[in-house]
Structure 1
Amino acid sequence: MDAYNAPMKNHAHDSIRAIIWQDHHLRLLDQRWLPQETRYLDLHTAKDTAAAIRDMAVRGAPAIGVTAAYAVVLAARQAYARYRENWLAHMQEDVETLAQARPTAVNLFWAIDVMREHCAAIPKGQDPEALLLEAATRIHEEDIAANRRMGELGAALIQGGRDVLTHCNTGSLATGGYGTALGVIRSAYAAGHIQTVFADETRPWLQGARLTAWELVQDEIPVCLLCEGAAASLMREGRVSWAIVGADRIAANGDAANKIGTYSLAVAARHHGVKFMVVAPTTTIDMQAADGDAIPIEQRSADEVLELGGQRVAARGAQAWNPSFDVTPASLIDAIVTEKGVVTEPTREKMQNLMKS
C-alpha cells in the first residue's frame, strides 16, 4: 500500500487531511506554521515522529493516535532492515520514545498497544511492514468513520436558532479527518442547525485562532473568533445554545480532560444555562482512571506563556504556570458523544454501560 489519503469528496465542508501515508513514509501537515504557511513534514523514523508529536507539529488526541500507529510501522521497518528475525525486540526503544511524547492523550497509548498486538502476531522472520501498515491504515479509516458517526449523533442534539461555541481545535487537524467536536459542528452546519461558529482563541498556543478558524474558513463555515475571557459575556447575551469541545482523556466517571480553559468554559456554561457537550471516540475513554484526579496533566514550558512567536511579552522576572489541560467534572457535562452512542448527564454506571455496548 503506497499511499493512504482518506476520501473526503462525498462529505460537505470536509476538505482537510493532516495525516497522509505517501510514497512509503508519513507526511504530516505541520500545524506550527498555520495559518501563515502550509508545510508538510516528511517522516521516515519513529523517533522523528515522536519529536513531531512532542513539539506540537501534530496535536489532538485522535491525530496523535493515528500518527503513532504509522510511526510503529516506521520503527518496525527500520528494525527489520537491521536485525531481521530480532526486529521486534530492537524496535521497543523507539516505541517507548513514542509513548513518552505526550502523557495526557490516551489515544497515543491505545494505538501503540493495538500495534504491539499486531507486531506480536507476525511470524518470526516475516517482513512486518505490509501487515502493520494495513493495521495502521485501518486505525486511520476507523477514526474517520467514528468521527462522522459522532457528527451525526451530536448534530441531532442541536436545535436550530442559536449558534455554538467551541474551544481549541477538534477538527480534521486534530483527528484522522472530519473531527470530533468540529465534526459535530460540520454536520450541524450542513443540516442547517447553526449559522455561525464562535471559537475561543485558546491560549497560549492559539489553536482556536490559528487552526479552528483556518479549518472553518477552508470549509466555508462562518466563524467568529473571541478571547476565551469573552465567552461568558457571549453566553450572557444568549448568543449560543451549546458549548462543544473535545477531550484528550475521559475518566470512568465521565470527568473529561481537555485543553486548558475548558473547565472555566463549562462553569460559565452551567451558570448561563448553555448546554455543554464533550465529543470523543471511545478510545479516549480510560476506564482505568477512576476520575479526573487520576488523569496526568502535562506541564509545558513556561516560555509558551511568557513569549509569543519567540518574542518576550511578559515582564522580565515574571514566572508562569502552564498546564496544557484541565479537567471538567462530569457534573458540568450535559452530553458525552461517542461513536457508540450518547451519554447524557454522565455517571460511572452510564459510562460502564456505554463501554459494554
Structure 2
Amino acid sequence: MQTATHDYSLRWEEDALLTVDQRQLPHTVRLLRITTVDELIEAIRSLAIRGAPALGVAGAFGVVLAMRAHSTGTDVDFGGVHRDAERLARARPTAVNLAWGVRRALGKVSSGRDAALNEALAMLAEDERVNRSAAENAADVVLRLCPDRPLRVLTHCNTGRLATAAFGTALGAIRVLAGRGRIEGVLVDETRPLLQGARLTCWELKELHIPHRLVVDSAAAWAMAQGEVDCVLVGADRIAANGDTANKIGTYSLALAAQRHRIPFVVVAPESTRDLGIASGRDIVVEERGAEEVLEFGGASVAPAATSVYNPAFDVTPANLISAVVTERGCVLARDDLVPGGS
C-alpha cells in the first residue's frame, strides 16, 4: 500500500491498477494495488472503487489484466480474456459504464495487449476532459435556472474525482460554480447506508475549501421547505433513452421533494452513462446489496437479530421529475418549461 498524492482516483503503474481505496476514507488515504481480474471484481463489489465513470475506466484496465493472465509469450487465450471480461462487466449490474469500458477495451484485444492498454489510458485522459466539459455545461444550466445570487446547492452520494477518474460530474459542477463565485454553501446528504456523502463528498469539499454542511438524508426535504436549497445537483449510474435516471438510493425522494418545492433538479453525467438501448427506467436492473450494510453501523448491530432487510443500492427517478440532464454535449434532455435549448 502507498500514500495517494495525485489528483486521479485511478492510475496504471508497473502492470497494476492503482486506485484510492474508498473504503478507508475519510480517515486514511491509501492506494490499493490491483493485479488480477478477481482482485478488481472484489474491489468493485466492496466499493473500494465506485462511481459510474470510474467503473468504466477500471473495467478497461481490467481487460488489460485479463490479457496478462491469459497470455503466454505472444500467444493469447482470447476465450479466457472474454470470460474474465464478462465476469467483470457483471460485477455491478446497474452502472452501465462498467460494461461500456470493458467493451471498449475488448475491441482492441485482437491488436494485442499494448493496444488494449493504450485504449484504457486514452479513456483515463478522456474522462477528465469529458467531466470538465459536463461540469461547465451544468454550471451554465444552473445559472440559467437559479436566482442571481450565491447558491445553496444540495447534492447526494459522491460525484467528485473519487467517483470518476478526475474532476467529477455533479461535484465537478459545484467546483465550477465555486470558481465563479456562485456557491454560498453545499448541503451534503450523508447517503445511507454506506455514507458516501459523509465520508467521501465532505472529504472532497474540505480538500477544495468549498463551504458545506452535512445533513441526514431524511432532513433534505425539510431543508427545501425551509428555503435552504436553491438547486439539487446529482450524478447518474444509468440514464435511459427517455431520461429516466438510475442513481444512488435516495435520489428519487430528493426529486419528489424538489418538484414539490419548485427547486431545479439537475443530473450531470458523461454521455457514456446514457444507455440509449433501453427505452425507460423500467428496463434498468436495480442492484440489491447485503443486509449487513443496514443491520450494522461501525461494526455494531443496530437491529434485532434475524431482522429482514430490503437494501436496494439505487433507485430510478422518472424523467418528468428532472429539470435537465447535462453531459459534455450540453443540455441533452430537459423539461421544456424549465430549460431552453434542451434536445
Pick from 18, 21, 27 the counterpart of residue 30 of structure 1.
Answer: 21
Q: Secondary structure at the match of 2:137?
A: helix
Q: Which amino acid aligns with 2:13?
A: Q
Structure-1 residue corresponding to 2:248: 259
Aligned to 1:139: 123
In the alignment, the residues of structure 2 paired with residue 115 and residue 46 of structure 1 have an alpha-carbon distance, to the nearest angstrom, of 14
- Cα offsets for 1:160-217 (capped at 9, x unmatched): 3331000000000000110010011110111111121110000001000000000110
For 2:167 and 2:54, how far apart are their aligned partners in 1? 11
Distance 2:151 2:177 in 1: 12
Correspondence for 2:33: 42
Alpha-carbon displacement from aligned partner over 1:54-104 (angstroms, at most 9, x marks no partner): 111000010011111111111112212x37423322212211220121000
Question: Counterpart amino acid of 1:145?
Answer: R
Asked if 1:291 corresponds to 2:280, the answer is yes
Identity over the aligned pairs, expressed in percent? 47
Which contiguous aligned blocks of 4+ residues in structure 1 show a shift greater than 3 angstroms? none
Provide, for residues 108-137 of structure 1, a one-character-per-residue CA deviation record: whole Å limited to 9, x for no partner.
1111111111113x1xxxxx2322111001
Contact 1:254 1:346 in 2 (8 A): no
| Structure 2: distance between partners of 1:192 and 1:54 | 38
Aligned residue number for residue 97 of structure 2 = 107
Size of the alignment, in residue pairs?
331
Q: Where does structure 1 lack aligned partners over 5 or more consecutive residues?
A: 9-14, 123-127
- Partner SS, residue 108 of structure 2: helix
Name the SS of the counterpart of 2:141 in structure 1.
coil
Q: Following superposition of structure 1 onto structure 2, how do residues 1-357 of structure 1 map, counting pairs within 5 Å?
A: 16-80=7-71, 82=72, 84-120=74-110, 122=111, 128-159=112-143, 160-345=149-334
Give the RMSD, CA atoms, in angstroms: 1.9
Q: Deviations over 1:250-273 (max 9, x none)?
A: 001000000000000000001011
Q: Distance in 2 between matches of 1:226 and 1:201?
A: 6
Q: Measure, in 1, the Cα distance between the counterparts of 2:18 and 2:204.
A: 19
Contact 2:138-2:330 within 8 A present in 1 as well: no
Within 1, Cα distance between the matches of 2:333 and 2:278? Answer: 20
Equivalent AA in structure 1 for residue 61 of structure 2? Y
The alignment's TM-score, normalised by the length of structure 1, stands at 0.89
Measure the CA separation in 2 of the matches of 1:83 and 1:299. Answer: 41
What secondary structure sits across from 1:164 in the alignment? Answer: strand
Q: Structure 1 stretch 21-30 or stretch 270-279: which is displaced more?
A: 21-30
Residue 297 of structure 1 deviates from its aligned partner by 0.1
Equivalent residue letter for 1:86: V
User: Unmatched 5+ residue regions in structure 2?
Assistant: 144-148
Alpha-carbon distance between aligned partners in 1 of 2:203 and 2:8, rounded to the nearest angstrom:
13
Conservation of the 8 A alpha-carbon contact between 2:67 and 2:76: no
SS in 1 for 2:32: strand
Contact (CA 8 Å) 2:191, 2:217: kept in 1 or not?
yes
**Amino acid of the residue matched to residue 95 of structure 1?**
A
